[in-house]
């Protein structure tokens, strides 16, 4: 990825705010609550313990990975979305992955036009390896609130 500065707006800017709030920034790789090597703002792809990144590299990584999550939302959702809803869903996909979203009842509800029902699915996704995590409970509540805004 280039060293260019990122200028973000709309859904991506909202998504960056929510992801960075709940993931936090850690420039040295660590194990997340379920034991997955993680770095920066929750990035897991190819991460090895002992790895480090600069703050600028972490910002670029977040913008790139969240951009991919937003693109997945655009591909999978067949109805128009306001920026708030797209940001909430982008944050969700960033956290759980495109495959989980693609298979979810949340996506089916969205594409059927039941956006309230879809947004109300978010709190169900507060578990990792069968354990409800307080951080995920708070994150899903924030995503749900953002999703329900018009």
Q: Residue 91: how many CB atoms within 10 A of its CB? A: 32
Scanning the chain, the segments in alpha helix (DSSP H) are: 10-23, 55-76, 83-96, 98-102, 105-111, 115-119, 134-148
| Dist CA 125 CA 52 (whole Å) | 29
Range of the domain at 130: 10-148
Q: Is the pLDDT of residue 88 over 70?
A: yes
Q: Is residue 33 part of a domain?
A: yes
pTM: 0.90
Q: Is residue 144 part of a domain?
A: yes
Q: Is residue 140 part of a domain?
A: yes
Q: Is residue 138 part of a domain?
A: yes
Maximum CA pair distance of the chain?
Answer: 46
Q: Please give the mean pLDDT across all residues of the chain.
A: 93
Q: What is the pLDDT of residues 99-129, one digit of tens each?
A: 999 999 999 999 999 999 999 999 999 999 8
Pick from 2-6, 27-31, 99-103, 108-112: least confident: 2-6
Residue range 37-57: mean pLDDT, rounded: 97
Q: Is residue 24 part of a domain?
A: yes
Residue range 20-27: mean pLDDT, rounded: 96
CATH label of the domain that carries residue 46 = 1.10.530.40
pLDDT classification of 135: cutoffs 50, 70, 90:
very high
Residue that is written with structure tokens 């709940």 in the block: 22
Query: What total number of domains does the chain contain?
Result: 1
Q: Token digits for 100?
A: 């989980």
Q: Is residue 5 part of a domain?
A: no
pLDDT classification of 61: cutoffs 50, 70, 90:
very high
Instruction: Give the SS3 label for residue 28.
Output: strand
Supply the residues annotated as catalytic: 23, 32
């Amino acid at each position: 990825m280039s060293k260019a500065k990122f200028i973000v707006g709309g859904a991506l800017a909202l998504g960056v705010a929510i992801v960075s709030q709940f993931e936090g920034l850690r420039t040295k790789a660590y194990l997340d609550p379920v034991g997955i090597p993680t770095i920066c703002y929750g990035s897991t792809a190819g991460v090895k313990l002992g790895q480090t990144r600069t703050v600028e590299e972490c910002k670029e990584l977040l913008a790139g990975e969240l951009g991919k999550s937003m693109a997945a939302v655009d591909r999978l959702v067949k109805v128009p979305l306001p920026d708030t809803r797209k940001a909430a869903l982008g944050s969700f996909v960033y956290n759980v992955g495109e495959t989980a979203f693609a298979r979810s009842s949340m996506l089916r509800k969205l594409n059927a036009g039941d956006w309230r029902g879809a947004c109300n699915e978010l709190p169900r996704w507060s578990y990792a390896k069968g354990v409800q995590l307080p951080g995920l409970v708070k994150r899903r509540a924030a995503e749900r609130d953002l999703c329900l805004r018009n």
